[in-house]
Amino acid sequence: MKLYKKILFLFILILPLFSAGQSKKVQKQQKKIAQTKELKTLEAERQYMKAVKHHHDIQTKDTHKMMKGNIKKTKKVYKGAKQDFFLKQWLKVFKRNKQRTKSNSGKKK
């Protein structure tokens, strides 16, 4: 019985060493997986930028000018533009329509 208890005690003492070694392996594997994912995302981004550049390069001169003009127009329109809350927009439209109906009803008489 005493021998059985000694073996069990030694086994319990040694058990954390095995689990600690496995956790380091898991951490290394997870780190390696994260690095490969990061490399894949960087490669995908690089390929996308290369495709966009190629798309711009194959356009004709007139198309290229038109594309630049459209980009400038959208920057002017959306620069600093902030949309109101949708209920506030609806109330503005409702007030505007109400004022129009009042002004139109007065003119018809």
pLDDT one-digit tens code per residue, 44-80: 999 999 998 998 888 888 888 888 888 888 877 666 6
User: Does residue 3 have a pLDDT over 90?
Assistant: no
Residue 67 CB: number of other CB atoms within 10 A?
Answer: 13
Residue 64 CB: number of other CB atoms within 10 A?
Answer: 13
Q: CA 53, 59, 60 angle in degrees (round to 5)?
A: 145
Helix or strand (DSSP H, E) at 59: none
Residues 6 or more apart whose Cβ sits within 8 Å of residue 35: none
Q: What pTM did the predictor assign?
A: 0.41
Predicted confidence at residue 32, as pLDDT, reads 95
